[in-house]
A and B are shown apart, each in its own frame.
Chain A
Amino acid sequence: MSEADMAIIKPEMMMKSYIWLETTDGSIQQVEQEIAMYCPMICHEVLQKGLGAGSSKNCAISLPQRVNPAMLSLILDYCRFHQVPGRSNKERKVHDEKFIRMDTKRLCELASAADSLQLKPLVDLSSRALARIIEGKTPEEIREIFHLPDDLTEEEKLEPLKNLMDDPRIRLLNRLYAKKRKELKEREKLKGKEVEERVDERSVDDLLSFINGKDHKVVKTSKSKKKNRKRKEHKNKVSHNLHSKQQGVQIVDETASSLGGVSNLPSMEEDIFSLKTDSEDGYVDDGMDPVLKEMLDREVEDFARRLNSSWVLSSGQERQPVHFSINGNGATRRLTAFQVMLGSLILLMVFGWQVPEFCGVTRKVIMHSPSSPHWWISTVKGNSRVRISGLTGTEGGDEWFDLFNIILDEASGLPKFDNVPANREELVRDDSTQAAERAYNRVERALTSSILSFLTLVAPMY
């Protein structure tokens, strides 16, 4: 079509015909028609708008935005060379190689301009040149050439595909990232779980109490009565917990008033709680309630812990009842175990004196003879018989004597001792000996009981 047009044009006008082209900056150029028609876009424009288009300054063909005057002249040079039919392929190639030697900025502009004029051979040529610039260069070099911003994060850069050479490092990084992500997820899950758990438990309790409440009393729709009921039930439960834990601690309902700050907290909780159940869908105020609940629970726990520890340290204080939160078990449990052990140790120490006597453990008895300066220490089993030992002399042997009436055991015959006084009736236990006895025994008992109590302390730990 265009050829036919051009064929018509040429014979008619002997001189070269010109087309007027206008770039976006307003400058108008006059170009030989055949050169301009080499660009498909100009060709189409001419054909569409008729031959009148571009024939004078006034109706110049306006070129697309990306074609600036410098680029236009370059493109026209290109067209001027290539539209001549007689050139060989080799000539064209040589020309192209020379033509394409320009700085990168102009190359990019040229590619863009050629693309908007739909001049495919030139687009290919400039793309090839740009590819040659890019290939084989490091990313930093490429960024410098094309003024690219280095705005990728390190993590993004090290995606597995890009750096095949650095495999172990990337694997490690990925593992670390995965771990971190997991941790974050788990933390979030835990948070979510805690909130949800509390919420769920409460709702079950509420339902139960509600049901129980219904059985006993007439159902009243007023909120305040519900609140009171719940408060009492709740307190009763709490008191139940307390009773089972500690001995000798009494909770009286009147103590509710003495709680002061503590009582307000449970009531506030129940306010929120009732709000929740009163609303249709229990989770209307999602954002607020769980957070507030969490906060309150934590405060209550802290308070309870503080109270618990103070009770343990000063044993015998009854005044302050403790409000145990449902979730505060972990910390307080440990405290009470320690308390138990400590208490048992004290008990053992205190009552350890009595134990050996009741158990029938042996003790030492000291006797002396008035006529001689000797003292005899003998082991006594039970209360009645004395066994004098260690008085061996030449033959040795033990004899049993009755403590109170030192009677010779007839079965053993006459002992032959050196130091035993001939008259055994002389062995007496008088005050001095008894004092010594007591002292001696006390020391011995203390030692054994302390060892025993230590063993009992250690054993439960394992």
Chain B
Amino acid sequence: MPMGESPDLISDLPQSILENILTRLSLRDAIRTSVLSTKWRYKWSTLTDLMFDEKCVAPSTDRAVVETNLVRFITGVLLLHQGPIHKFHLSTSFLQCRPDIDQWLLFLSRNGIKELVLELGEGEFRVPSCLFSCLKLTRLELCHCEFDPPKSFNGFSSLKSLNLHQILVSPEAIESLISGCPLLEFLSLSYFDSLVLSISAPNLMYLYLDGEFKDIFLENTPKLVAISVSMYMHEDVADFEQSSDYNLVKFLGGVPLLEKLVGYIYFTKASPIQLFPLEEESFDLFERDYLDYKLPRLETVRMTDVSGIRNELEFIRFLMGTSPVLEAVVVTSSLSDKDARMEMVVELLRFPRVSPRAQLLFLQD
């Protein structure tokens, strides 16, 4: 190298450092380094993590222009790329349903994709079948898609994290998908309607549910560590209470490792607590029979929108009575009436606590 003025500072650093630097830049900046010098021309092309969003292209008031530019950009990047692609993130509301996305997914499926995040705009993009042949997937996140696995699909054997948001899919498909991913550790299902689900995932550690669930059954989740459930109410409360046979203990079937339970909005409104398939709701039985049941690691419980109805209170009582290491129960009330709130608080304070350190915390909205 001719040492004229000053030598090149950076181009001769080892490739691992340069990739480290380039991954910390936005994809657009990383690609722009290719005009720096001959050595830098293709340094970006071996990046394994590609994150695309609308900031990759010049902003414009015309949506169609942004869309076409973005499509062209992504296609160009994929074509110029060399080597495997491990992460592909696409989060933009500008792209909805396009055949280009199918082609990109096909390309990725041939290049060893491991992490796929696809957050598209509103519009039912139907996930192509090539996705189901990406067997190295460890993380899958889909948003606003239509998910229809073929009959020969047996699940992603390496999948560890699954996040489905507003997906059009049949419940059987989800169940078989979950049971077909033995290594699944993180599961998040949101924006579903009337879902009846029985979750069987031996390695599942984090469960996040958000939507209108009719019945959730944690059938086989021995390693579950944290649960966060947000449920949405039907229009008619009365109907809901009568029609559903939501069973909390069924819900919390076997979760010995549970450490954190978060319940948002109407979590327990529709749940007549039944420990055993008994007809009557008898609190004495209640007290007596669940002493054997323990949530030995539960440390934090958080409930929002508690409005003091029986089911909720019973649930909290249940939790407090079965968690020897409980540290905090945080309750946020949705009651506006001060008196009603006071009643609820009094009621809650009565409950016996198994854990000596348990604290009952009330947060005001």
Q: Which A residues form the contact surface with B (CB < 8 A)?
A: 104-105, 108, 111-112, 115, 123-124, 127-128, 130-131, 134-136, 139, 142-143, 146-152, 156-157, 160-162, 164-165
Verify if B282 is at the interface (C-beta below 8 Å from A). no
| Least distance between A71 CB and chain B CB atoms (Å) | 13
Let me know if B21 and A127 touch, CB within 8 A: yes
Q: Which residue of A has the minimal Cβ distance to B14?
A: A115
With beta carbons under 8 angstroms apart, the residue of A104, A123, A143, A156 that contacts B41 is A156
Which A residues are CB-close (under 8 A) to B9? 104-105, 108, 146-147
Cβ of B26 < 8 Å from any Cβ of A?
A: yes
Residues from 67 to 89 in B contacting A, C-beta threshold 8 Å = 69, 72-73, 76-77, 80
Shortest distance in angstroms between B151's beta carbon and chain A's nearest beta carbon?
40
Given A161-B77, A164-B73, residue A148 in contact with residue B35 (CB < 8 A) = no
Residues of B within 8 Å of A143, CB to CB, are 36-37
> Which chain A residue has the least Cβ–Cβ distance from B5?
A147
Which chain B residues (15-36) contact chain A, with CB distance < 8 Å? 16-17, 20-22, 24-26, 29, 31-36
Residues of B participating in the A interface, judged by any CB pair closer than 8 Å: 5-11, 13-14, 16-17, 20-22, 24-26, 29, 31-41, 57-58, 69, 72-73, 76-77, 80
Contacts of A150 in B (CB 8 A): 37
Some 11 contacts from A to B, beta carbons below 8 A apart, are A108-B9, A108-B10, A115-B13, A130-B10, A131-B22, A146-B9, A147-B9, A148-B36, A150-B37, A160-B76, A164-B57
* CB-nearest residue of chain A to B79: A161
Beyond the given pairs A135-B26, A148-B10, 13 more chain A to chain B contacts, judged by CB atoms under 8 angstroms and listed by A's residue number, are A108-B13, A115-B13, A124-B20, A127-B21, A130-B10, A131-B22, A131-B24, A139-B35, A149-B37, A149-B38, A161-B31, A161-B80, A164-B58
The residues of A that contact B36 with a CB separation of less than 8 Å are 139, 142-143, 148
Query: How many contacts A-B (CB < 8 Å)?
Result: 88
State the CA gap A148–B73 with chains docked (Å): 26
Instruction: Tell me which residues across on chain B come within 8 A of A134, comparing CB atoms.
Output: 21, 25, 29, 33
| Interchain CB contact (< 8 A) of A146 among B10, B22, B24 | B10
Nearest-neighbour CB distance to chain B for A433, whole angstroms, equals 95
Nearest-neighbor residue (CB-CB) of A143 within chain B:
B36
A127:B20 contact, CB within 8 angstroms = yes
Contact B35 A147, beta carbon cutoff 8 Å:
no
B residues near A128, Cβ cutoff 8 Å: 24
Residues of chain B lying within 8 A (CB to CB) of residue A105: 9
Chain B nearest Cβ from A130, distance in angstroms: 5
How far is A156 from B39 in the complex, measured between Cα atoms in Å?
A: 13
Complexed CA–CA distance, A161 and B72 (Å): 9
The CA-CA distance from A84 to B313 in the complex, in Å, is 48
Q: Which residue of B lies closest to A165 (CB)?
A: B58
- Of all chain A residues, the one with the shortest Cβ separation from B19 is A127
Is there an interface contact between A139 and B17, defined as CB atoms closer than 8 Å? no
Report chain B residues within 8 Å CB of A127. 17, 20-21, 24
CB-CB under 8 A from B10, the residues of chain A are: 108, 130, 146, 148
CA distance A135 to B29 in the complex (A): 6
A124 and B16 CA atoms in complex are apart in Å by 11
Which residue of chain B has the shortest Cβ distance to A163 in the bound complex? B35
CB distance from A442 to the nearest CB of B (A): 83
**Neighbouring B residues of A160 by C-beta, 8 Å:** 76
Closest A residue to B80 by beta carbon equals A161
Chain B residues lying within 8 Å of A147, measured Cβ to Cβ, are 5-9
User: Min CB distance, A22 to chain B, in Å?
Assistant: 22
